[in-house]
Chains A and B, each alone.
Chain A
Amino acid sequence: MAEVLFIGLSLASILLLIALGLSITYGTMGVINMAHGELVMFGAYVTVLGITHLHLNFFLCLPLAFIVTGAIGYAIERLLVRRLYGRLVDTLLATWGVSIILIALIRVEFGLAFFGVHVPGLGPGLQNVPIPAILSQPVALWEGFVFQPYRSFIIVATLGLVVLTWWILSRTAFGMQVLAVSRNRTMAACCGINDKRVNAWTFAYGSGLAGIAGVMLSGFKTVFPDMGTPFVIDGFLVVVVGGVGSLLGTTVSSGILGELTGFIASVTNDILARAVVFAVIIAIIITRPRGLFAFKGR
């Protein structure tokens, strides 16, 4: 039973990891970023390249991925999203296009493949990410329950990121500006907040979180160019169920969905688990259309 709960907790933490960045970009800015999964994938590839070429420690890849994907997110916002404010469907399409470009960039190794140059760590194949030794030895505890250090590391790190995000949003001046802009952009601008700059940095932060998610997932999920696509779907489900714009909502809904998936998968199988979870999500959306912890009033 403890193992089933642990699996559920681990699934929840992975969902939360991905949904956190999405809840920032979608929740506070109302921008549907279809390229979010690809930013996660980029974080994974930064890890692969960092370990292969720069001989970095796995943990050092975390801030590196944050910076790289944050920069890409900043660029996406300034070049693309900014011109499409208020046009939700157009943003969706544009960011979908960005996601295709990002996948293709990895596949053709940023253009080098056309010249016959192969960079180890890029290309359409599977990539290997070696996990640091302290995280890779499972420890057998009581009653056949095996302590998995890597999954536990992800749970701890995710909670840390949630706390960090909450702290930034509620205890710093920048966070206050983010919340102001997301509630009422025009009024915030009238009060002297540079809403365009705030949006750019918000998007960059959300994308940076995606990069960190990519680093942590690269340790036990397969790293290949299409790995990001399934993540963005799960991420949106979590954000929408939790309530757009609510950090607590995202956390709680990822916990519920993760534990539910883990429990049903252990009893029957993963395919049925997914179907049941979708049914539950539909039920929640029908009864509470704005999610579990919707922000009241706009």
Chain B
Amino acid sequence: MRVDRRKFLAGAAAGAATVTGVPHLWIRDMDQVWAQDAKEIKVGVLYSLTGTTAIIEKSMSQVTQLAIDQLNKKGGVLGRKVVPVIEDPASDPKTFSEKANKLVVGDKVPTVFGSYTSASRKAVLPVFEKRNNLYWYPTYYEGFECSKNVIYTGAVPNQQQENFVPWIIKNLGKKKFFIVGSNYIYPREMAKVCKILVEKNGGQWIADEYLELGHSEWGAMVKKIKDSGCDVVYSNVVGDSVVAFYREYKNQGLDMRKLPICATVTSEIEVQAMGPEFAVDSYTSFPYFQSVNNAANHKFVEDYKSFAGKDAVTHHALECAYFQVFLWAQAVEKAGKIEPEAIREGAKGQEFDAPEGHVKIEAENLHTWLTPRIGQVQSDGQFKIVDEYKAPIRPLPYSAYGETNDNLFCTAKGLDASKLKKT
């Protein structure tokens, strides 16, 4: 390509304009270039807007923005407006890590709200621990983590399974468990906890099977379930596979009333996608269902529907993504400054009247007190709450290893590894 003088001058002018207009390229500390805006607080919002988990994560991103809007309408936090910096990690853990880096190091946000899958949380954890920043993780997960740079607002196994497994054995009278899940860390760890609880309560687990995330051909697996002689299917299947699974279940003639699926991940979203007729009479254990009957939840559902459309449904991870923003705001107000460590200290013990009821951040392990519930799918796609604790219970991320209320493994001093015995 011949470069004549005209082209050269044009290119040089464009280059000079770019470099002066985007000082990020040649100045390392942005504070020296643009003054920190004293009227704003930036927060990172890190949920996938594209890719397979966008199915759930996009709504979580939107509800975070809804909560931030509501905060700003009431005057913001410390008198400043909260500005979300939204990134799309595209359902890929490696991209999660890159975007987390960009938010913490590049945008210098004091807090990031994000993640749905455990894989993505594990991918961003090193970023937050290295930079001593703060990550608010709203999704129910398998436990076994004790990071002082993460505030976990979703359920841990003792809040999802410790009520579920005994209830199945006592109330449904089912003793032979066929455990099925998606092939990654969360379902495998949940299955570990389930097996411990099943054996402790006098039941028996017959099988522990896995299929890839996103796998949509369930013919062979459902046939295995039929041939196994189990009387209840314990499902830790995640994502769009759930829809294909439940449909195949009914298509092969299995009856939820005789052989129910008891799930830990099937929420209002999956039920709506598969069509309620395929899920009726199955059970799920979550601290929150859209049908929870209190004033805060009615308002939340109403606000969310006017925001996302009247066919939108709310679910547990969504509700945690929503109330964690308010807990964060309270923590910042208490801390008085916008630094991750101060916010973390301010968050310990924070309480809030969330749509699911009263919640509290446990000061020792930074997880959240939640109220366990069990729901049964009805023909309108909503859950009827068939079991509910009277008050929120303490989160124990190491409950499968023997952690109890009197013997905490994860405290403010960190994880006491000597208490972890081989199971």
Contact = CB atoms under 8 A, between A and B. Distances in A.
Interface of A: 3-4, 7, 10-11, 104, 107, 118, 120, 123-130, 136, 138, 140, 144, 146, 148, 150-151, 220-224, 226-227, 230, 262, 265-266, 269-271, 273
A271 B308 contact: no
B252 A138 contact: yes
A266 B217 CA distance: 12
Interface residues of B, number: 42
15 contacts: A7-B220, A10-B219, A118-B308, A124-B50, A124-B58, A125-B58, A125-B269, A128-B273, A138-B252, A144-B226, A265-B220, A266-B220, A266-B223, A270-B211, A271-B210
Nearest to A119: B309
Contacts of B49: 124
B244 A221 contact: yes
B307 to A, nearest CB: 10
Contacts of A265: 219-221
Contact of A125 (B55, B212, B250): B55
A60 to B, nearest CB: 19
Contacts of B240: 126, 222, 224, 227
Contact of A126 (B217, B270, B308, B309): B270
Contacts of A222: 216, 240-241, 243-244, 273-274
A140 B253 contact: yes
B220 A273 contact: yes
A138 B223 contact: no
B275 A128 contact: yes
B258 interface: no
B209 A269 contact: yes
Contact of B248 (A126, A220, A223, A224): A220
Nearest to A130: B275
Contacts of A271: 183, 210-212
Given A124-B54, A270-B215, A138 B273 contact: no
Contacts of B334: none
Given A118-B308, A128-B274, 17 more contacts: A7-B219, A11-B217, A107-B50, A120-B311, A124-B49, A124-B55, A125-B55, A126-B272, A126-B273, A127-B273, A129-B275, A136-B251, A220-B251, A221-B216, A227-B216, A270-B215, A270-B221
A146 B223 CA distance: 10
Interface string B299-316: 000000000110100000
B167 to A, nearest CB: 28
Interface in B252-307: 252-253, 269-270, 272-275
Interface in B189-248: 209-212, 214-217, 219-221, 223-224, 226, 240-241, 243-244, 247-248
B51 interface: yes
B52 A226 contact: yes
A3 B211 contact: no
B181 to A, nearest CB: 12
Which 8 pairs between the two chains have the least Cβ-Cβ distance?
A126-B273, A265-B220, A146-B253, A222-B240, A222-B243, A7-B219, A138-B253, A124-B54
Contacts of B252: 138, 146, 148
Contacts of B209: 269
Contacts of A136: 251
A126 B219 contact: no
Contacts of A224: 52, 55, 240
Interface string B388-416: 00000000000000000000000000000
Contacts of B241: 222
